Structure 1
Amino acid sequence: MSGWRTLTLLGSAAAAALTAHSLLNARGLRVPPLDPPPVPGRVSVLVPARDEEEHVAACLGSLLDQVGVPDLEVLVLDDASTDRTADVVTATAGTDPRVRLLRSAGPEPGWLGKTHACHRLAGAATGDVLVFVDADVVLAPHAVAAGVDLLRGAGLDLVCPYPRQLALTWSERLVQPLLQWSWLTTLPLRRAEVSPRASLAAANGQFLLVDAAAYRACGGHAGVCGEVLDDLALLRAVKAHGGRGGVADGTALATCRMYDGWEDLREGYAKSLWSAFGSAPAAVAVGAGLALTYLVPAAAALTGSPVGALGYLAGVVGRYAAAERTGGRSVPDAFAHPASIAVLLGLLADSWRRHGRGELTWKGRTL
């Protein structure tokens, strides 16, 4: 058997196995209730905001429309914005006593902007549950109550109900669905909730709920102050201190459009993708595995290989199932899965290149 045929067989087998795993994960994915009971105790919703005048009104409006949370406080931190973020928050909140606007002059040495903002917010919060919400996220009216019910009912210390990702342009449609697809495909979700292994973790800071006592016991954001992927680092810290946590289905709870077009998407992934796998060798290994599993079979299929065609279709089925499970666009986008993987690998290489040259910035700050 030739080397290329061997690679095609291996890649196709891996694609089939991972798709089978994703289908099992989809069946066992935790789903918050659509009609949760009222939340006992105080809940603090924390919104870090820097230059978010275009988004923060919709986010804050959705927070003020929450139901089933009788004791709710909403803290928004204006992180040295250069636009009208603070004015929009004040105008949207009006005289609502549940809302407090905090202000920051920026991060202290050794901190990144978002970790510092989250740390400040958590320090001012008085709730039993801390709910971190990004300023570009819009919540359904029952989202906070449902998230708290899931956190408490499942015995978790941290949970991320993954928002439905809005993808409008070609680049967003290629790349953004890979977020949910990646953990549905590769991570044993229930085992990951309890395992302290750093590799068995997935999180999303767009909508993240954490028990306040567990947050403080693990050091909170002070313990991950320099981490670009602070959500993932916080989950790992919680689990390292004996806690449990992971991702859940937040499709019916929240929506987020992370990036607006190719340039915005490229800059966003450049700032963080280099840190996703821990080291350069690990990133190379992951990239090689993705290429073997999803690019080699597709290329072989173009030359008439039946095995390659089966491997390609396995990847398409996995992508289709993930989209259907998480509210994404399944057809025709799933058929472009190899192109999605190719673009992701290009973004990974670009992120490492810029990291090595010290060129990474985000919202006017050097990382």
Structure 2
Amino acid sequence: MILILSILALALAGLFAAMCVVNLAVLRPPEGVGGEAVSILIPARDEAANIDAALDTALAQRGVEIEVVVLDDGSTDGTDAIVAARAERDGRVRLLRGAALPEGWIGKTHACWQLSKAARHPVLLFVDADVRLAPEAAARLSGEMARRDLDLLTGFPRQITPTWAEKIVIPQIFTTLLGYLPLPMARARSDPAFGAGCGQLMAVRRAAYDAAGGHAAFASRMHDGLELPRRVRATGGRSDLCDATPVATCRMYETPAAIWHGFSKNATEGMATKRALPVWTLLLFGGHVLPFLTLVAALIAGAGWAAAVSALACALVLGARIAMALRLRQSWLSVVAHPLGVMVVLAIQWSALIGASRGRRAVWRGRDYGMG
């Protein structure tokens, strides 16, 4: 039995490692220069601690014409006053005060929809308030879209993870993305199912955005990183992922509780469904945790062949994670504690699925939403 499980673990670990090698080879930073003018659009709700730094880096863009539009979505911490003061000093900044949230809309989705209506430039760059742009970010993204004739270009910023919990859990985003989305196939085919992205940093041509219905097309959905690329593809547009490590940084969540709630809020729009989660559990537990369990069991039982097979599986997983960590500038703790991080992610997903089946609702930024 140990040998059978070891062989299963090796097969699943090999799948992950092979996909990582292929995806890391084709996932490149945006290389374009210049491009069309960019509207940097920032939805903000209670972001007083973040918005000044977000504006600093947005306004430091060079190589392309920009404007920066911030929508204050009912903040109570003075976010609007900070933006208003910046707008008085720099004509490139505009402050919008968000309208009341309509029935059936998600807060961020509604904010981005309003921002899109106010934008004046042909490329819309949606940026979260906790994202810090490199000085060439807008020019490189807009230029890459022009160079490759893309309608939407998105990528995950380099994730800043100073605490142990962040180091262990946050990199698991890339485990699922680079380990299981075949990027060459996604580029070769226009199927909306291959559409993927990151809502933290997403550039889209206005014409393609409007043709796809914009954020209004998925008003009740939280996972804009999946929804917008898929809608653009469904209406004939071309979307792609890039390595955004050199062009932006982001610190997503600062505490273990924030990580749990943040990963939970849109889980049921991703892997936490009745059909998908058992498959994801097989792939993630079987390919990333089982190799280490079978290795220990084989060593205790003195099962030489099983131990050798399990050791190879462990080496494949850790080798792929080391390559990912080097490329994406991740902490070494994220490699060493990789199986633990996978287990935490699976626990979050199963908790979200069970909670949704029991009618539990997601709460985010002080708003209550249904799950699933």
TM-score, normalized by the shorter chain, greater than 0.5: yes
Could you list the structure 1 runs, at least 4 aligned residues long, displaced by more than 4 angstroms after superposition.
Answer: none
Aligned match for 1:221, one of 215, 218, 240: 215
**Does structure 2 conserve the Cα–Cα contact (< 8 Å) formed by 1:48 and 1:135?**
yes
Q: 1:343 matched to which residue of 2?
A: 344
**Does structure 1 conserve the Cα–Cα contact (< 8 Å) formed by 2:33 and 2:144?**
no
1:58-207 to 2 correspondences below 5 Å: 58-70=53-65, 72-207=66-201
- For 2:59, the aligned partner's letter is L
- For 2:52, the aligned partner's letter is A
- For 2:279, the aligned partner's letter is A
Alpha-carbon shift at residue 94 of structure 1 (Å):
3.5
Structure 2: 5+ residue runs without aligned partners?
A: 300-306
Alpha-carbon shift at residue 335 of structure 1 (Å):
2.3
The CA deviation string for residues 97-148 of structure 1, in whole angstroms up to 9 with x for no partner, is 1111001143211110011000000011121111000001000111100111
- For 2:353, the aligned partner's letter is W
**Does structure 1 conserve the Cα–Cα contact (< 8 Å) formed by 2:73 and 2:111?**
yes
Pick which of 354-363 and 78-87 moved more: 354-363
Task: Say whether 1:53 aligns with 2:55.
Answer: no
Aligned match for 1:7, one of 5, 8, 21: 5
Alpha-carbon shift at residue 158 of structure 1 (Å):
0.6
The CA deviation string for residues 228-259 of structure 1, in whole angstroms up to 9 with x for no partner, is 10221111000111111121011111000000
1:255-294 to 2 correspondences below 5 Å: 255-277=249-271, 279-294=273-288
**Does structure 2 conserve the Cα–Cα contact (< 8 Å) formed by 1:194 and 1:239?**
no
Q: 1:210 matched to which residue of 2?
A: 204
TM-score by length of 1: 0.94
Identity %: 37
**Does structure 2 conserve the Cα–Cα contact (< 8 Å) formed by 1:194 and 1:245?**
no
Alpha-carbon shift at residue 278 of structure 1 (Å):
6.9
Q: 1:194 to 1:127 in 2, by over 3 A?
A: farther
Alpha-carbon shift at residue 355 of structure 1 (Å):
2.4
Q: Secondary structure at the match of 2:243?
A: strand
Alpha-carbon shift at residue 93 of structure 1 (Å):
3.8
Alpha-carbon shift at residue 223 of structure 1 (Å):
0.5
**Does structure 2 conserve the Cα–Cα contact (< 8 Å) formed by 1:156 and 1:244?**
yes
- For 2:160, the aligned partner's letter is L
**In 2, Cα distance between the equivalents of 1:292 and 1:145?**
42
**In 1, Cα distance between the equivalents of 2:95 and 2:366?**
22
Aligned match for 2:320, one of 297, 318, 321: 318
**Does structure 2 conserve the Cα–Cα contact (< 8 Å) formed by 1:130 and 1:211?**
yes
- For 1:31, the aligned partner's letter is P
Q: Secondary structure at the match of 2:76?
A: coil
- For 2:16, the aligned partner's letter is L
Q: 1:308 matched to which residue of 2?
A: 310
**In 2, Cα distance between the equivalents of 1:363 and 1:46?**
19
Alpha-carbon shift at residue 365 of structure 1 (Å):
0.5
Q: Secondary structure at the match of 2:67?
A: strand
**In 1, Cα distance between the equivalents of 2:208 and 2:278?**
34
Task: Say whether 1:246 aligns with 2:231.
Answer: no
Alpha-carbon shift at residue 301 of structure 1 (Å):
1.1
- Name the Cα RMSD after superposition: 1.6
Structure 1: 5+ residue runs without aligned partners?
A: none
Q: Secondary structure at the match of 1:269?
A: helix
Q: Secondary structure at the match of 2:265?
A: helix
**In 2, Cα distance between the equivalents of 1:145 and 1:55?**
23
Alpha-carbon shift at residue 198 of structure 1 (Å):
4.5
Alpha-carbon shift at residue 17 of structure 1 (Å):
2.7
Count of residue pairs brought into register by the alignment: 360
**In 2, Cα distance between the equivalents of 1:190 and 1:312?**
26
TM-score by length of 2: 0.93
Pick which of 233-242 and 166-175 moved more: 166-175
**In 1, Cα distance between the equivalents of 2:286 and 2:193?**
21
- For 2:148, the aligned partner's letter is A
The CA deviation string for residues 134-170 of structure 1, in whole angstroms up to 9 with x for no partner, is 0010001111001111111122111113200011222
**In 1, Cα distance between the equivalents of 2:188 and 2:231?**
12
Q: Secondary structure at the match of 2:283?
A: helix
Alpha-carbon shift at residue 84 of structure 1 (Å):
1.0
Q: Secondary structure at the match of 1:131?
A: strand
**Does structure 2 conserve the Cα–Cα contact (< 8 Å) formed by 1:196 and 1:236?**
no
